């Protein structure tokens, strides 16, 4: 099913390298989000953007960066400054702000060795 596409599904990187995760949506949603999912930790917000060319830090933004140059795209860069980057990353969008349902992508599992 369409809506939000994350690529790739699996990503492997060496420690010290930056890596960019892709997130594209065709739902015409204004708001987009990046979450990190670790076992037993729930979903923790990394960054979010409510409008093009604007974004805010979430609860665990250190070591990550984003851009929102187009409404449909919200890429996440995991930098070498992120101390524990191996995780499952989920992108989401919503039609309004956070008080409307989130539509999630299928996620990217990043492994850094």
| Contacting residues toward other proteins, per CB under 8 A | 35, 40-45, 48, 58-59, 90, 97-99, 101-102, 104-107
Burial of 27 (0-12, 13-18, 19+ CB in 10 A): middle
CB of 74 to other proteins, least distance (A): 16
Smaller CB distance to other proteins: residue 15 or 54?
54
Contacts of 20 (CB under 8 A, 6+ apart): 75, 76, 77, 78
CB of 62 to other proteins, least distance (A): 15
Q: State the Cα angle at 16 between 11 and 10, rounded to 5°.
A: 5
Smaller CB distance to other proteins: residue 16 or 99?
99
Smaller CB distance to other proteins: residue 11 or 80?
11
């Amino acid at each position: 099913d369409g809506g939000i596409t994350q690529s790739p599904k699996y990503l492997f990187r060496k420690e010290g390298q930056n890596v960019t995760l892709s997130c594209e949506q065709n739902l015409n949603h204004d708001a987009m989000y990046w979450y990190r999912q670790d076992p037993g930790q729930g979903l923790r917000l990394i960054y979010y953007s409510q409008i093009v060319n604007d974004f805010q830090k979430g609860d665990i933004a250190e070591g990550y960066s984003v851009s929102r140059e187009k409404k449909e795209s919200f890429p996440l860069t995991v930098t070498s400054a992120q101390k524990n980057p191996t995780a499952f990353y989920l992108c989401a969008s919503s039609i309004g702000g956070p008080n409307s349902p989130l539509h999630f992508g299928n996620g990217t599992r990043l492994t850094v060795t």
